[in-house]
Amino acid sequence: MIKQFHKWAQGNELSDSLLRKAVDEVEKGIVDAKLGGNLYKKRIATKGRGKSGSVRTLLVYAANQRTFFMFGFEKADRANISREEEKALKILGKEYLTFSDARLTTLLKEKMIFEITKGKE
């Protein structure tokens, strides 16, 4: 996940296990919207609110490659993202998907991206 999303996720009590579950569902084709350009919208149920009171996340996913959580919001705060935001996320996401392992390692060390691993809370 990118740095901005990581900060937002911490503030919304999204554990790594919740995010991992969301990625597992995306890998199975369970998404709320396919926005094109490898960008997907995925609701994540948070503690005590269920999916109807869930947060919305936007992530870039390439099968058998990588997934990056890019943006998140609560439905109570906004209905959706703008076309301009969607376009920007697609461009940024496409860039992230091209990063080499060495570049990703550097970004992890610099805390510009954060990794979600199975079993991590």
Q: Share the mean pLDDT of the chain.
A: 89
Residue-range domain boundaries for the chain: 3-109
pLDDT at 13: 84
Identify the band that residue 7 occupies on the pLDDT scale cut at 50, 70 and 90.
Answer: very high
pLDDT at 76: 79
Closest CA to 34 of 92, 90, 102, 98: 90
Q: What percent of the chain has pLDDT over 70?
A: 91
pLDDT at 78: 86
pLDDT at 65: 87
Q: For 60-108, how does the pLDDT look when each residue is reduced to its tens digit (9 = 90+)?
A: 999 888 999 999 998 878 888 999 999 999 999 999 999 999 999 999 9
